[in-house]
Amino acid sequence: MDRESDPVAALVATVAERSISYDGLSVSKSDGLYTFETTERQVTDLTASALGETAAGDPFVDNWFHWTQRSRSTAEQAFLRWVEHAEERSVPERDAALTSGGVVREWGQLRITATVVDGDRRYELRHSDDRDADPAELERFVDPRKAREIATTDDKGRYRPLKTAPSLSTGWLFPELTGASLVEAIDFFYPATIQNWSLEREGELDVTNWAAAADRQSGIYAMVDELSGEQLEWLTEACCVDSQCLKRREWDAADGEEIDTPRGAGAFPCREPCSVVISAARKWTQIEREDTERYTFELTPSEKDQLEALVAAVADGRIDEIREAEFSDPANRQRARYLRAKRFDAEGSLSTESERPS
C-alpha cells in the first residue's frame, strides 16, 4: 500500500519528516521513537512499525488522511469541512453522525446530506423543500453538470436569469456525489458562491460598492451612475432582499455610505451589483430622469385600495395565486377589468387631468 491510498502509510511517511497535529490527532517523533496521541488515547515510545499498527483503523488517522492528503482548493476544502461541522465537532462525534443518518447543511435552497459509506464520504443533494420527499419520487441525477439544466427554469418552466433567486425548481436528487462533484454541482446551481464565501471567511472578500461598480459601466449602462441615495435603497429593496435573491448583500453605496435595506441572512455573500441589477438600474435611471407631474383623477376609497393591491400583487409575485372568481381579492383579474372599464380610456390610460406643479 502506498501513501496515496493508505492512511497508515501516508501517516508513517509524513511523520518521518515532520510532526502532525490535526483535528485532535498529534503524532511526533523524538529520538527515533514516535508518540501517537488523540483526544481518546495516548501511546508513546513506538517504533515505526508499531506506529503503523497503532494507527491502523484509527478514525483520527482516517480523518487526517481524508482532509490533508487529497488535492482540493482552499474554498473546496473549507466548504466540505463546513458541511460536516468539522471545525466545531470532534472526530468521533462527526463519525457517529456521518455513519448514522448523515450530517445536513443548507446552502441557499440546496440541502446537502453528508454520509460516510464504506469509509468514503458521499453527499446527497436535493432541494430543501424536498427534505421529506421519498427519494423514489425524485428524479435522480449522477452527472453534476445536470445541475446547470435544473437551474435554468423554475417549477413553472420560466427562465431564471438570476441563479440565486429563491425559485430553484424541485423534484430532483443527486443521491451520491463525491466532494469534488458536490462542489461542481453547487457551482452550477450557485456559481462562485463557495469561493466568495471562502474568501469572506479568510477576510479577503473583495467587495465592490455601487459607486465603483456603476463607474465601471460603459455603453448603454454608463448612465447608471446617476442613481444614488434613496434610489439605491429602493433598488436593493426591489432586487436584493431575501425574497428576491439568496445572496447576502455586502456592497453598499460607497465606502462609509451604507444602504439601510436589510442585507439578507444568506450563507453566501454578494460582492457587487450583478448584471440583473445593473440592467434594472438602467431602466430606473431613465425613469428617474423624468420630472413629476400633478394628476387629478377620482377614485373611490375601494378603488384606491385596489390599485395598491394590484401593485402589491405584482411586486410580491402573488398573481398566480389569485383564483378565478375570487372577488374578495382586490387583485382578482375580473375586478381589475372592471376597474379598467370604468376608469381607464380606450388607450388604457387612467382618465386624468394633468398639470405640472408650478
Partner 1 sequence: MSQQTDEALVIVAHGSHLNPDSSTPTFAHADTIREADAFETVREAFWKEEPSFREVLRIVDVETVYVVPMFISEGYFTEQVIPRELRLQDWDVTDWESDGTSADHAAYTATDTGTTVQYCGPVGTHDSMTDVIVQRARSVTDDPNVGSGVGLAVVGHGTERNENSAKAIEYHADRIRETYDFAEVKAMFMDESPEVDDVATLFESDDVVVVPLFVADGYHTQEDIPADMGLDLDGPGSYPVPGMVDGTQIWYSGAVGTEPLLADVILERAADAGADVAGAIERVKQQTGGTAIDVE
Part in contact with ligand SF4 (CB under 6 A); list of ranges 116-124, 241-249, 317-325, 347-355: 241-249
Least separation in angstroms between residue 196's CB and partner 1 is 7
| 270 belongs to the binding site for ligand SF4 (CB under 6 A) | yes
From 247, 253, 313, 335, residue interacting with ligand SF4 (rule: CB under 6 A)? 247
| 274 belongs to the binding site for ligand SF4 (CB under 6 A) | yes
Q: Pick from ligand SF4, partner 1, none: which does 113 bind, CB < 5 to 8 A by kind?
A: none
What does the per-residue mask of binding to partner 1 show for 143-162, with x meaning CB under 8 A? Answer: --x--x---xx-----x-xx
| 213 belongs to the binding site for ligand SF4 (CB under 6 A) | no
SS3 per residue for the chain: CCCCCCHHHHHHHHHHHCCEEECCEEEEEECCEEEEECCCCEEEEECHHHHHHHHCCCHHHHHHHHHHCCCCCHHHHHHHHHHCCCCCCCHHHHHHHHHCCCEEEEECCEEEEEEEECCEEEEEEEEHHHCCCCHHHCEECCCCCHHHHHCCECCCCCECCCCCCCCCCCCEEEEEECHHHHHHHHHHHCCCHHHHHHHHHCCCCCCCCHHHHHHHCCHHHHHHHHCCCHHHHHHHHHHCCCCCCCCEECCCCECCECCCCCCCCCCCEECCCCHHHHHHHHHHHHHHCCCCCEEECCCCHHHHHHHHHHHHHHHCCCHHHCCCCCCCCCCCHHHHHHHHHHHECCCCCECCEEECCC
Part in contact with partner 1 (CB under 8 A); list of ranges 65-73, 121-129, 169-177, 316-324: 65-73
| 81 belongs to the binding site for partner 1 (CB under 8 A) | no
From 46, 116, 185, 239, residue interacting with ligand SF4 (rule: CB under 6 A)? 239
Least separation in angstroms between residue 5's CB and partner 1 is 20
Least separation in angstroms between residue 49's CB and ligand SF4 is 56
Least separation in angstroms between residue 271's CB and ligand SF4 is 8
| 276 belongs to the binding site for ligand SF4 (CB under 6 A) | yes
Give me the residues that bind partner 1 (CB under 8 A), please. 71-75, 145, 148, 152-153, 159, 161-164, 187, 191-192, 195-196, 199, 206, 216, 218-219, 271-272, 274-276, 279
Interface residues with ligand SF4 (CB under 6 A)?
164, 239-240, 245, 247, 249, 270, 273-274, 276-277
